[in-house]
Structure 1
Amino acid sequence: MAPAIALQQKSRPFYPNRQSLEASWGLRSLPHSISKAKQSCLRFAERHLLTSSLIDAIEGHFTADREELINNITNEPDDSMSLVRLLLHSDQYNITGIVATTSYWLNSTVRPEAILNTTNVWDQVLDKLNLHSAVEFPTKAYLKSIVKAGHPVYGTDVFKEKTLSEGAKHLIDVVDGLPEDEMLHVGGWGGVQTLAEALKYVRSTRKPQQTDDFVSKLRLYTISDQDNAGPWIRFNFPRLHYIASIHGFNAYTEATWTGFSGGVGSDTSLTNQEYSTKNFQIGPLGPYYPDIRYSMEGDTPTFLHTMVNGINGGPEDHPEWGGWGGRYDLVDPSRQTLHYSAGSHSPIVSVNNSCGSNHISYTVNPLETITLSGLSTYDPDEGLPGHSNGLEYSWWQYKEPSATMDTGVQHIPTLNFTLSERGKVASVKIPSAEEACIPVQADANVGMGIQKTCQQYHVIFEVKGSGEPPIRRYKRVILKVRSPLLDGEEEV
């Protein structure tokens, strides 16, 4: 099951009296001036938290100002670990929703009750947690109110559903209720079909500008792709701020986020079972923090990325700065398609005024010279900024297709190319009959006796485009050598 958590901004007051504030921050023995400075920092932290505190756990949706989580905690122990970790840091986030969704490993079931089981013991730890925080942790009642469910279907199959899931409705409501200067961080711990469902609904019911405004509010961080909804979202909403490791399906060792969980050769002093038992599997929440099976807290990077700790770039909308959730550089292929001049386009290849991908063929005589002209080839990028180098041309012989088992040909002579017109035109001299044609014994049952079989030469005209990256296109020319008469044969 993939829970999705959404955190709405709400007022979180300071402790009601100075005594409790000083006790929690150890201010009693400090000079009054330092005490005021710390209070100022606390107030700054409170304001900052209120603008970047939403976690969406619908298997991986996050926003910068609020957070919503989407995950599948029932079948993946590390998801349960991450949920406990999130709750223990929920004073730093304004969690607006937790949505149970499917994923690759649990593709037809959602279990919001498993999330509620964890939050049911929240009252037992809440007072002690509040003792150590300058702002209030969310209450058990509030957490219960924001646990929702997505449709129990896998990936883009959600588009077949006739009604919106409660998870998608909740996500839309949260985004629509955001102040103008706030964003929603969505953390994807499993499949992101609930987010895809919400985005598709918004696009189909609102004007393009309204849809763009909705998308601009979202900041998504997913634990790789765990269904086919993630690629669908990136393709259909290329402007969405989307953090993900793109790699082979289930090839999680290639992902950036695994740095938190530890891998082969990493320092596991804090990510082993002994440390976990001693430090995490204690107190009322301890039973909900399972033993390590596959990895430890694999989904935690989605919200560590936005934790306000002074080093993370997430709260400031700069994932390229790096931090506890990893460092991510911008990959935006859509930018190359916004303007024609920014793209790289295929050259249009023509030989003897024949263009297109089909080959052309000529029957030639031994020792004949044939001219192949690529003068009609052109560059669709010619004259565009950054395309000043022009096309590059090359003619070459593809020998392998000329040597076949049925002809018994072993030696393929090398063709000579004489180039002109800056490489656009090639004159090709056909080998002699002695080289190009060999006598072979035909099938005795046919009664054809001895005949000559001549080779076919494959000439490739290769054109390299002027864009970046350069695109190559080709034209194949097949030169079929006409068989000469055998001694004693008469021409008919």
Structure 2
Amino acid sequence: MAAKLGPRLADRPPWTPTPAELWSKVAVGNVDFENDFHADTPGSDLIKKAILDNDTRPLYLEAWGGTNTIARALKSIEDEYNSTSSWSAVQAKVNQKAVIAALGMQDNAYADYIGKSWPKVKLYNMGGGPGCSAVPANAVYCSPEYWTPLKYSHGPLIEARSFFGDGTYHVSEEGITSNGIHNWEPGQAKDMETFRLYNRGDKHQRMEFAGEGDSPTFLFLLNNGLRATQDPSLGSWGGRYKPSDTIPTTYNGQADVNPETGTASSGYASQRWTPEMQNDFAGRIEWGASPAFTDANHNPVVKLANSDLTGKAGKTVEVSAKVTDPDGDNVKLNWSVYTDASTVTSPVAAVQNPTSKTAYVTIPDGAKSAERIVVVLTVTDKGTPALSKYGEVVITVK
């Protein structure tokens, strides 16, 4: 499918991979049994090669079903180098480069081996993820009205995917359980009273929790203008993360305050971005179904004048950006203080001139040295679907 879509994606953003690049990254890992990392596999060899190559950038090792193949790659590195004179250098390289992004500990490989033998390798212990439950106004983005038109008019790949209330029905892989309810039913149930996604015992209908739960590990890395790959506490579509107080190489999800409820949750740290996130997915569907670049909408381009600024307490700081749109669409700008990602303890006044390319942020009189104010510029175009890009500015108090 990627090969078929290749010509249509060739003029999309430069990070769109070619089919050859995708195939070069596909290999079978350790699958003999749960928690298996007893022997090298093509998958573990691929990870090992990537860890040890000369690319000095962080290497994010995503684990959506357990860390056992990652464990095997690290064990192979240890077995090859631990009795050599280069072992210390290899350890330092791995500790600096490898970042495990895991959706929970879905096997025991991290506890049994990685955490003990490689305690300095960073672990992002991720959770939460996309959804529409946190903000009532976002419910449309998880509705049949939103997704069904996309599913049935954009080619066979997306038509084969199950969406919320899309009218499809598939038989469960595991059959009917002892209580008569299917464990997993993608698509719309024929009988809502009998068939549900999970037997949760609550009012939720089937498919009201149908998002892929492991996607925060991938959404975290999307180049949308948020700066989580530089500092995970700055936030991303996959949530916001900080080091554990007891294990500084383990990063855990942080809670953002939901303005609808006044309560904080790590789930809202991802769901606060739901409109932009879901529209972005819809936009990518359009890319694959559009023969020409001009047939689809594309994200605006945001270039900040400065992404890191300083200022003294009581002073006003200017933030600005150059904004363009590749399709020539009109755009809407909004600068806002990201309070949850900020560390100032004094309240920050609303951004002045928030809908213009140049805006102003006043540092509170009570702000202390080294505290920070995080300001997010959200730029959304008037195309269909409306697509967005961010700019994230960190103002550090002098």
Question: What's the TM-score bracket when you normalise by the shorter of the two chains?
Answer: 0.3 to 0.5
Q: Which has the larger radius of gyration?
A: 1
Q: Please, what TM-score do these two structures have when normalized by structure 1? A: 0.37
Q: Please, what TM-score do these two structures have when normalized by structure 2? A: 0.45
Whose relative contact order is higher, 1 or 2, with alpha carbons under 8 Å and at least 6 apart? Answer: 1
